[in-house]
Structure 1
Amino acid sequence: MRFLATLMLWLLTTLALAVAVPAGWAQRDIVDEDGYAALAARAAGDSRLQDAMAGELTTQLLALGGENGYQLNPQLVRTVADSYTRNDGFPGQFAQANRIAHRWMFTGAVPEGNSTDRWLIDIAPMLSDPSFRATLGNLDLAVPPTLTVPITVESPDLRPGKLRPLATWGPWASIGAAVLTGLLALLTLVAARSKGRALCALGVSALLVGAAGWAGIEMGRRFVDAAVDRTTGDIRTVAEVMVRTAENSAHHWLNITLVTGIGLVVVGVLGATAGAALRRPDTR
């Protein structure tokens, strides 16, 4: 009976851990606005994203100049844009630009002039950077307070606040899953006859969850790629880099889970060995 109780608790712990790891990652890096902004800042260090954003900023600035009756030098504007996306201030401003996209999807906040079926980022802060202002010289070319750029094509599947339930319940779900996992792991240790073997079993749980997570990411990649296909032009490259950065972040969490599992297995084996040695009768 005790063995069956321990086995059941171990299975429940494994299932809870399988929920806690992805839930914790998603809450930290996707659902939380600050976490998503930090993810965007990390992605901004990729040269492919920098080149793509330089191209998009060039396009928008040339269009803004044309609307105001100015013929800007495309080569000069692109040179300045390349320099800007490679300076130390770009990751922070790119992260800030992505906050509007996050709020659109997770809270339903719609910038003025935005249609309700397109996901946008605000590039006005980037075009207002001093490097661009210096290039424009004395031109009376004022960048509007908000200049949104679509990062998806129009789709009825996209609407403001579609992920609002995740923003509402995500923190509770991630915390609850973590607490439940810890509680079940503790109960598994209490119920087990051999604490060393129980630690080994919990380590195996972590290894199973980590390996399953890696496999799940690979299996889900085609669905993510289908979502990226909704983006166009330079913004498509930006979206691809953001997705890969998110994948790397998820892999990091899974690697920590795997390393923790290995550690628990090693400690469990040592503990079980030491316990067996202590229980062995002295034959001398």
Structure 2
Amino acid sequence: MRTFVSAIAVIFTLLLTAIAVPMAWTDANIVREDGFVALISPLGKDQAFQSGLAAAAVGSLESKVQLPAPVEQLGASLLKDAASSMSVWPEYPQAWNDTVRRSHQLNFAGNAASGNTSAATLVLDVAPLASLVAKRLATATGLPIEAPKSTLINIGSPAQRQQVEAVAAYAPMWWIAALGAVLLLALALLAARRRSVVVLFAGLGLAALAGLWQAGSTVLRGVGDAGLGGTTTGGVFVRELVAASADNFSGWIVDAAIAGGVLAVVGLLMLILSPKARARGRANAAGSMEG
């Protein structure tokens, strides 16, 4: 009975760990704003993606600004330059981070909290980029230029938004699964007749989970390449977000694999060096000498 209880506890420990680790990563890097900004910030260096964002920002501003004839040519030249080379402006990195934060608030903090009551899909709000262009245009022309308050790019359907809201609700509860895994592992160790076997199989199971997570990460990257997103720019964003997530989670997978390997080695050493194992070894040696 003790062996059965210990085995069941180890199995459920691994199942809860399989749930807790991805949930913890999602909470830290997707649901939490600072983690999301850190994850997505490198996309600010992707020229093809940023060209699409710049074109959207410039287009939203161009359609609302009517410049007088004397400065119309100057304004058109600046807008054309912004659409092609905004990403090299010194103010651009901050504007891009503001875009990421604002978009995260729209998609995760709720529409009411972010001041937007109409968006029912996943969106990117490039208004900070449009504001950057407006400031440059105002400086160049000497005219007051008002940037649009929001410039939304669709990156997902209403159904996908509901999935994101579910993730935002449940991912922060990862600690419940983690606590359950710890308590069950403690139960397995207390109930086991040979704790070294529990440690060995817990380590092997954790290493196997790392392999499953890696396989799932590869499949998820393939889904990202399938062209999700409501627009061309939105599709690029989703694909790059999935790729960045898979790359970031791979670090957690490596840590889990190392931890599993260490536990397996410790369990094996405990098994080899246990008093019973040593006694059997001496008995076998004695039997060989008598033979």
Tell me the TM-score normalised to structure 2 length: 0.78
Q: Aligned ranges for residues 165-184 of structure 1 at < 5 Å?
A: 165-171=166-172, 173-184=173-184
Secondary structure of 1:57's counterpart equals helix
In 2, Cα distance between equivalents of 1:75 and 1:93:
18
CA contact (8 A) 2:58 2:83 kept: no
Q: Which amino acid aligns with 1:104?
A: L
Whether 2:267 is the aligned partner of 1:268: answer yes
* Residue number in structure 1 paired with 2:143: 140
In 2, Cα distance between equivalents of 1:259 and 1:88:
42
Q: 2:153 aligns with which of 150, 155, 159?
A: 150
In 2, Cα distance between equivalents of 1:39 and 1:194:
43
Q: Aligned ranges for residues 17-28 of structure 1 at < 5 Å?
A: 17-28=17-28
Alpha carbons of structure 1 residues 15 and 62: separation in structure 2 relative to 1, 3 Å:
closer
CA contact (8 A) 1:151 1:236 kept: no
Secondary structure of 1:40's counterpart equals helix
In 2, Cα distance between equivalents of 1:121 and 1:141:
26
Per-residue CA deviation, residues 89-111 of structure 1 (Å, 9 max, x unaligned), is 61x54333223333333343156
* Residue number in structure 2 paired with 1:67: 64
Deviation at 1:130, TM superposition (A): 8.6
CA contact (8 A) 1:120 1:148 kept: no
Q: Aligned ranges for residues 97-136 of structure 1 at < 5 Å?
A: 97-109=99-111, 115-129=118-132, 133=136
Give the share of equivalent positions with the same residue, in percent.
22
Deviation at 1:136, TM superposition (A): 5.2
Alpha carbons of structure 1 residues 260 and 198: separation in structure 2 relative to 1, 3 Å:
same
Taking only aligned residues, the RMSD between alpha carbons, in angstroms, comes to: 3.3
In 1, Cα distance between equivalents of 2:159 and 2:101:
21
Whether 2:86 is the aligned partner of 1:54: answer no
CA contact (8 A) 2:124 2:154 kept: yes
Alpha carbons of structure 1 residues 258 and 7: separation in structure 2 relative to 1, 3 Å:
same
Deviation at 1:266, TM superposition (A): 1.7
Deviation at 1:192, TM superposition (A): 2.3
In 1, Cα distance between equivalents of 2:131 and 2:220:
38
* Residue number in structure 2 paired with 1:253: 252
Per-residue CA deviation, residues 248-280 of structure 1 (Å, 9 max, x unaligned), is 122222221111111111222222222256545
In 2, Cα distance between equivalents of 1:13 and 1:32:
26
The structure with the greater share of residues assigned to helix is 2
Aligned residues: 274
Structure showing greater Rg: 2
Deviation at 1:199, TM superposition (A): 1.5
Question: 5+ residue gaps in structure 2?
Answer: 67-71
* Residue number in structure 1 paired with 2:40: 40
In 2, Cα distance between equivalents of 1:78 and 1:217:
35
In 2, Cα distance between equivalents of 1:158 and 1:191:
44
CA contact (8 A) 2:121 2:154 kept: yes
Deviation at 1:31, TM superposition (A): 2.1
Alpha carbons of structure 1 residues 113 and 25: separation in structure 2 relative to 1, 3 Å:
closer
Secondary structure of 1:250's counterpart equals helix
Per-residue CA deviation, residues 62-93 of structure 1 (Å, 9 max, x unaligned), is 55235323452255224541313xx5861x54
Secondary structure of 1:152's counterpart equals strand
